């Protein structure tokens, strides 16, 4: 009898303390991480309409890749309600990475992983409402919420206790480094949005590495060149050699670099060598193709680095390790960790020369 009364008392106590949720539109709090911000399309990375991009690039530009919300609240719980355009799940990525949310909360001066917004694997279930974290201690929390990497987001609302307050914050990250690259830059195949390498570099260095990755489509196209020439940024980082063919590297790379140097004088342009596909060690044809692309890129970039004082080329052999991918191409969390561990000190050293720190 005493046990039943105690259980009933606990239930009453829980019911009394549990609060209803109020929701605030994320746009009102402020969306950050755009290459170019568009009031018309707050969840697009940039307004693609003036540039004449191909269909695939247009589709990727509508995705909320790399975007995030920063806010402070004294709520005991944080929830989210979001809707995206239906899109099939990929076979080499998690649903959280593609359509979910990734929450960090600052503790002891560092961003600590808190929780995720999980999703159904059924593409038709595109409306989600989830409590991300609850039963938190009293006091104000500073929160960083990453948006989905691989879907077009239609709406997002942040839920807090009915009696709590919430305030959008400016981006806590200094400067702006645009990161343009392949699916590896885009975030395949991190387990959640905050574990893409641009996101990890951002938190680690306190510098905003803006994700301008375009899976399979980063080929130094004239449209990308024209867009990047117009972008305002303190530096540029390129994963430029994973997608183009050998002929495209040979015909486009020198002009791509020359035009960017002219458009962004005295700003660092840092190029990374493409990681080799691990299965190329067995696929003779693929190994030959990748070796030719990497070898040509290496040769041209070394010459361009001598020609232009603000152009840099970084290469780390076997950067992902033998067990750092999910499909012989795209890094797992372990692969991304190794990628960042290897490249971060080199990138930071270059940026420091330009007082980007």
Q: Is 14 a residue whose pLDDT tops 70? A: no
Query: What's the whole-number mean pLDDT along residues 317-336?
Result: 93
Of 192, 80, 240, 277, nearest to 200 by C-alpha is 192
- Three-state secondary structure call for residue 356: coil
Work out the pLDDT band at 275, boundaries 50, 70, 90.
confident
Other CB atoms within 10 Å distance of the CB of residue 18: 12
Q: To the nearest whole percent, how much of the chain has pLDDT over 70?
A: 92
CA-CA distance, 59 to 11, in Å (whole number)?
A: 49
Lookup result for tokens 């200094």 = 174
Distance CA 340, CA 325 (A): 14
Residues of the chain with pLDDT > 90, as a percent, come to 81
Sign of CA dihedral 65, 110, 271, 262: positive
What is the reported pLDDT for 287?
84
Q: Which residue intervals of 148-205 are DSSP H helices?
A: 183-186, 197-205
- pTM, whole model, 2 decimals? 0.93
Distance CA 257, CA 167 (A): 42
Across the chain, what does the average pLDDT equal?
A: 92
Residue-level pLDDT at 4:
42
Per-residue confidence (pLDDT) for residue 123, from 0 to 100: 54
| pLDDT value of residue 90 | 87
Q: Of 170, 128, 171, 178, give the one whose Cα is nearest residue 148.
A: 128
Q: Which long-range contacts (CB under 8 A, 24 or more apart) does 279-283 make?
A: 279/328
DSSP line for 60-79: HHTS-TT-EEEEEE--S-EE
Residue 13 has what pLDDT?
Answer: 40
What ranges in 18-54 are assigned the alpha helix state H? 26-29
Region 136-159: mean pLDDT is 97
Mean pLDDT of 196-222: 98
187: exposed, middle or buried (Cβ count in 10 Å: 0-12, 13-18, 19+): buried
- The model's confidence at residue 131, banded by pLDDT at 50, 70 and 90, is very high
pLDDT at position 347 is: 98
Structure tokens at 153: 């987001």
Q: Residue 147 carries which DSSP code?
A: P
| pLDDT-derived band at 164, boundaries 50, 70, 90 | very high
List pLDDT tens digits, range 186-205: 999 999 999 999 999 999 99
Judge whether 44 and 147 are in contact, CB under 8 Å: no
Confidence of residue 64 (pLDDT cuts 50, 70, 90): very high
pLDDT of 307 over the 90 cut: yes
């Amino acid at each position: 009898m005493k046990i039943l009364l105690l259980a009933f008392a606990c239930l009453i106590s829980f019911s009394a303390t549990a609060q209803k949720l109020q929701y605030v539109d994320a746009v009102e709090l402020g969306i950050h991480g755009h290459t170019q911000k568009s009031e018309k399309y707050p969840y697009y990375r940039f307004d693609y309409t003036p540039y004449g991009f191909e269909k695939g690039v247009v589709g990727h530009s509508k995705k909320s890749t790399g975007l995030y919300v920063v806010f402070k609240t004294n709520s005991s719980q944080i929830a989210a309600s979001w809707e995206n355009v239906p899109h099939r799940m990929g076979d080499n990525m998690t649903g959280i990475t593609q359509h979910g949310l990734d929450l960090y909360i600052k503790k002891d001066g560092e961003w600590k992983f808190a929780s995720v917004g999980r999703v159904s694997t059924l593409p038709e279930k595109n409306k989600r409402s989830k409590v991300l974290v609850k039963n938190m201690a009293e006091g104000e929390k500073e929160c960083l919420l990453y948006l989905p990497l691989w879907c077009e987001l239609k709406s997002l609302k942040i839920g807090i206790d009915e009696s709590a307050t919430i305030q959008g914050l400016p981006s806590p990250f200094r400067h702006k480094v645009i990161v343009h690259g392949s699916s590896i830059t885009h975030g395949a195949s991190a387990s959640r949005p905050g574990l893409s390498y641009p996101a990890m570099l951002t938190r680690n260095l306190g510098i905003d590495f803006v994700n301008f990755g375009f899976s399979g489509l980063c080929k130094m196209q004239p449209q990308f060149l024209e867009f990047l020439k117009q972008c305002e940024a303190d530096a540029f980082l390129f994963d430029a050699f994973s997608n183009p063919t050998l002929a495209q590297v040979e015909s486009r790379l020198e002009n791509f670099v020359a035009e960017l140097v002219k458009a962004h004088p005295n700003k660092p342009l840092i190029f990374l060598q493409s990681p080799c596909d691990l299965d190329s060690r067995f696929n003779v044809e693929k190994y030959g193709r990748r070796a030719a692309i990497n070898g040509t890129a290496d040769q041209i970039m070394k010459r361009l680095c001598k020609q232009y004082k603000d152009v840099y080329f970084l290469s780390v052999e076997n950067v992902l390790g033998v067990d750092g991918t999910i499909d012989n191409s795209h890094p797992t969390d372990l692969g991304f960790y190794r990628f960042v561990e290897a490249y971060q000190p080199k990138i930071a050293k270059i940026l420091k020369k330009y007082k980007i720190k």
